[in-house]
Structure 1
């Protein structure tokens, strides 16, 4: 249908429009049956979805999902049923594929002419949620189907994707661990703020029974197939990186940047190289003269956490293996069944080692996701490894350290998609009665993958990644991110930035 509309032959267009209009008229005349019922707007629209097979897309500022409505018993044409539920007779409706767009006339996305001087961009904004509960799905993947362009939702499930105007008629692919992915026409979402609901993918009992296998065998197969699943040759990535320090509920410092990355193959001994494109630093003036923790080598950690290249001890199997492994569950990623394997140090091992879960594709044995934390029972033993330098008048104790890593598919291979580290510390000045809590974190998300025009940066262009990144000298760009994709600040972080007396520091 959309292909007909976009054909560049004038004589064909009137016929295509007539066909499309006829199809849409028939759809909106379809009968929907309601028994006398009351519920939220979302619940009632969901009843239409169950009867018709069509999903709804709309701006969450236009329609209140939580508003309570009552629909009288009866049979309604689809269009009338929608108007009854929303209570908004000014709504326009448009069918694209298996989705119905609800909008006001001015919100219909149109193709914007591209100027030679100033390219146009589409803004696709929304929140990914659980279809039944409405809970946000943190770190969902949102990308353009068939390309390396995409972004990761923040902890609130919210995302903002900036796309060139030429991708208006592409398809957006939204996925999250344990859920059925959705593919939605980009033109449905362009210019709107949309709630996207994903359905939990249940795992049939027979699948669980058939796939009961040795977890160590699964992990060894994963290692053996790295050559099939991960790139052996270098690629260029565009990534968004940020790191922050919070004391209690207050933000002390935030540093954000966009990098161009020369990412070497999984079996290469050569180091990855990072080139700084954009950067900004926000400091809380209120805490300028007090103790502030700084993150060292957060960028290096982000690349070290590519565990398919830098194998950790829990993926090294030998006679002195320190870990036990358990197959604890099956889940789903992008419609693929995955084995969930837990690992933890043996009871007789009393070192500060990791515990966590590994998610391995049951079909192709690719490692898709890792969550790991330093064993809480022995985390104090990791103090010297985590803290580089401190005053003798201060005691710093790590309380919790968690890392997550996920991979994204592109062109038949998997690449690092999102990395995050959360480190919580207890800080106490000697002689003081009370201690304070400090949370430091860093994360990096891959926004674009280029396997064709791969460039290795000269050393003079390369950013040192094992230093305190927040102290990097840079020139602030007034236009800042432009068309670059970033992870949106979480609601909590966004409020913290707006409340503090902040300043963007520029150094030349």
Structure 2
């Protein structure tokens, strides 16, 4: 069975190309990274894997956070994490959490400096048969959730303010960090028009020495995270043309933010050679609306996956994707649902044919909506409008506009995106 062309519309494209070190000042970049490294010197690193206590399944995008701080990390496609703990917080406690599972609190001193295996228990919500009857068909439940978009989502155009972060790591070292404040013109779900994004503020740190004269650029930037909204853009994951390539099942019920939720599992059918997705959907019982989705791309067909992601590269370089994980969360307010948060993790192995060792790169992007309001003007300042093919690192210009960023004068990749938002909250509100 051949995949429809629409599958390839996903805009998470990596452009790998020779990069001129003369484009930007290496000295300035080095100084910026020196400041970041100084702020990270007094840390202790802990590694581990988060799994399901019963099935031993590795949990992707499990959240590990240090209590009473804004420091956190998430697990990758192998359920693995690396947490950097400031030495003055080693006496604290971490919380390990995952959608549909019970939170686990652990003293940091109980962690090994080697590998830790952390097991989480499913939080099963026992529902009264009188109050709810579980759907018999998982696919019909998904179709209903998609068909309910006109009823469950605001019919007005919305102006959303969002904070966006993009990180490139070579091995464990940060190579490029970009952050931006954007306005999202969220077009009503009932229309076929695409959302639009306007760049408000941006900045970056790039250490080109760590990139080995190779530039990994995320083409699409904030649009890539926005397209994880599978209610608005179902063609990027599955729709009426691709349902037949998947197996769907209702796995359990749970609670998220005190709301009863169905957990629907999906995976590509056996025997297919083309890459499809697998993961879990969380569907609100009361409104039959998507609450969250956590999914990954099947990377078994490495040649085809590489062709999907690699936009451009030198002839002597082989690039192999090693992970492609996605998460999207929705918020509810006054009886309506809204796109709220996206997180994407991509991994690549870059091999120069005349070199002995490979380089491993990890790209992480996330975007969080901080506020929204009704706005039917539809107007965008042409000079700040982003194209879907925009590479953010090319748009950002160092630490421009220090007045806006204030005392938050370095990008702290180990801190949560919520921490970054809180530090510039006043400036964000001022710009609305």
1:324 aligns with 2:247: yes
Partner residue of 2:126?
A: 204
C-alpha distance in 1 between matches for 2:99 and 2:404: 32
Partner residue of 2:217?
A: 294
C-alpha distance in 1 between matches for 2:379 and 2:242: 40
Deviation digits for residues 435-459 of structure 1, max 9, x if unmatched? Answer: 1211012111101111268653143
C-alpha contact (below 8 Å) 2:202/2:396 kept by paired residues: no
What is the deviation of 1:376? 3.1
Partner residue of 1:505?
A: none
Deviation digits for residues 206-264 of structure 1, max 9, x if unmatched? Answer: 56994252211211211221111122321000000111110111000011000112111
C-alpha contact (below 8 Å) 2:124/2:253 kept by paired residues: no
Deviation digits for residues 184-214 of structure 1, max 9, x if unmatched? Answer: xxxxxxxxxxxxxxx9965126569942522
* Counterpart mapping for 1:100-499 below 5 A: 138=63, 155=73, 177-178=99-100, 202-204=124-126, 206=128, 210-211=133-134, 213-284=136-207, 286-287=209-210, 290-312=213-235, 315-317=238-240, 321-451=244-374, 456-472=379-395, 474=397, 476-481=400-405, 489-490=413-414
C-alpha distance 403-446 of structure 1, shift in aligned 2 (>3 A): same
C-alpha distance 448-176 of structure 1, shift in aligned 2 (>3 A): farther
Task: Work out which of the two has the higher radius of gyration on C-alpha atoms and give 1 or 2.
Answer: 1
C-alpha distance in 2 between matches for 1:313 and 1:245: 23
C-alpha contact (below 8 Å) 2:169/2:361 kept by paired residues: yes
Partner residue of 1:18?
A: none
C-alpha distance 367-459 of structure 1, shift in aligned 2 (>3 A): same
Moved more, 216-225 or 242-251: 216-225
In structure 2, runs of 5+ residues without a counterpart are: 1-60, 76-82, 84-96, 104-120, 418-432
Deviation digits for residues 84-135 of structure 1, max 9, x if unmatched? Answer: xxxxxxxxxxxxxxxxxxxxxxxxxxxxxxxxxxxxxxxxxxxxxxxxxxxx
What is the deviation of 1:320? 7.2
C-alpha distance 373-379 of structure 1, shift in aligned 2 (>3 A): farther
TM-score normalised to the size of structure 1?
0.55
C-alpha distance in 2 between matches for 1:210 and 1:467: 46
* Counterpart mapping for 1:47-86 below 5 A: none
- Which protein has greater RCO, CA pairs closer than 8 Å, 6+ apart? 2
Deviation digits for residues 439-492 of structure 1, max 9, x if unmatched? Answer: 0121111011112686531434412231211001547111233599xx974259
C-alpha distance in 2 between matches for 1:467 and 1:319: 28
In structure 1, runs of 5+ residues without a counterpart are: 1-135, 141-151, 159-174, 182-198, 494-508
TM-score normalised to the size of structure 2?
0.64
What is the deviation of 1:139? 9.1
C-alpha distance in 1 between matches for 2:151 and 2:196: 24
C-alpha contact (below 8 Å) 1:369/1:404 kept by paired residues: yes
C-alpha contact (below 8 Å) 2:180/2:200 kept by paired residues: yes
C-alpha distance 453-492 of structure 1, shift in aligned 2 (>3 A): closer
C-alpha distance in 1 between matches for 2:125 and 2:101: 10
User: Which SS does the other structure have where 1:243 is aligned?
Assistant: strand
C-alpha distance in 2 between matches for 1:314 and 1:472: 28
User: Which SS does the other structure have where 2:274 is aligned?
Assistant: coil
C-alpha distance in 1 between matches for 2:335 and 2:416: 37
C-alpha distance in 2 between matches for 1:400 and 1:311: 21
